[in-house]
Amino acid sequence: MAPFGERLSAAVSTYGPLCAGIDPHASLLADWGLTDDAAGLATFASTVIEALAGEVAVVKPQSAFFERHGAAGVAVLERTIQDARAAGLLVLLDVKRGDIGSTAAAYADAYLDAASPMQVDAVTVSPYLGFGSLDPFLTAAERNGGGVFVLALTSNPEGPEVQHARIGERTVAGAMLDHLRERNAGATPQGSYGAVVGATVGELTEDVAINGPLLIPGLGAQGGTVADLRRLFGPVWDHVLPASSRGILSAGPDVSALRKAVRAVRDELG
């Protein structure tokens, strides 16, 4: 399989950069008239995939909203991943895993190995056990043509406590971005190792030119605007992957309404 960075660039050139979330909040299930159980999840996810196939490059299921329903919910997530990939969508699974040694390798195998029934195109991970703890994920991604998105500058108010702490002359976030830049060096059209940077961080104080994709959550319902994205990320716009969930999903459950919502955001992004 071609490297994730290459496949992502091709998909974005066809469908635009929007990454659409699949986040079955209990409140969204209720708004859609669905039960807050595995059956409701299954209907929700299949409807979203039907609406988004051929409309966006990437979908981003949030694993937690499936896991909260136990084994039945995880089974729905597994089916959702398979259905989305079969529909031609790239799947970025938002799991934010982070561990060491054999445990990290097991997580990597679960989500990135070609033999896994839950294989996705990319995952989110946390680097705060040290960037080296991510080696099993990066190795599995390289072996299977996958991608890894590393938390760098999140927009939650607690984030700066860790991310803005300093290691000598660099911040922790800056160090993570430097590691990604090194990993992506020389890759064309871009590397497969990305960073997660919130749309609502306010001011961007770090160099995010990492020759890799930038997942930018927070567009829409969380307060991020396209103007914010252009201001913060204009110089690296070709690598930006803005993510919107509730702003799109609130248009459901009608498939045509969901598509209309997606197209409106996609057109605004240009």
**Closest alpha carbon to 3 in 145, 124, 104, 133:** 145
Residues in the chain: 270
Instruction: Check residue 262 and give its pLDDT.
Output: 96
**Closest alpha carbon to 214 in 185, 180, 188:** 180
Phi, psi of 17 (to 5 degrees): -85, -5
d(CA 62, CA 2): 25
Instruction: Check residue 270 and give its pLDDT.
Output: 80
**Token pair of 233 as six digits:** 């990320």
Domains detected in the chain: 4-269 (3.20.20.70)
Instruction: Name the residue type at position 82.
Output: Q
Coil, strand or helix: which one is 99? coil
> 76 with 67: CB under 8 angstroms?
no
d(CA 218, CA 166): 26
Q: What is the pLDDT of residues 215-264, one digit of tens each?
A: 999 886 667 788 889 988 999 999 999 999 998 999 999 999 999 999 99
260 is catalytic: no
In the chain, which residues have pLDDT < 70?
220-222
**Closest alpha carbon to 21 in 61, 52, 55, 77:** 61
Q: How far is CA 50 from CA 101, 109, 252, in A?
A: 38, 28, 12
**Residue that the structure tokens 């991310």 belong to:** 163
Q: Specify whether the backbone of 59 is left (phi greater than 0), alpha (psi in -120 to 50) or beta.
A: beta
Instruction: Check residue 221 and give its pLDDT.
Output: 62
Residue of 79, 96, 246, 263 with catalytic role: 96
Number of Cα atoms under 13 Å in the Cβ half of residue 243: 26
Phi, psi of 167 (to 5 degrees): -115, 95
Instruction: Name the residue type at position 73.
Output: G
Instruction: Check residue 117 and give its pLDDT.
Output: 97
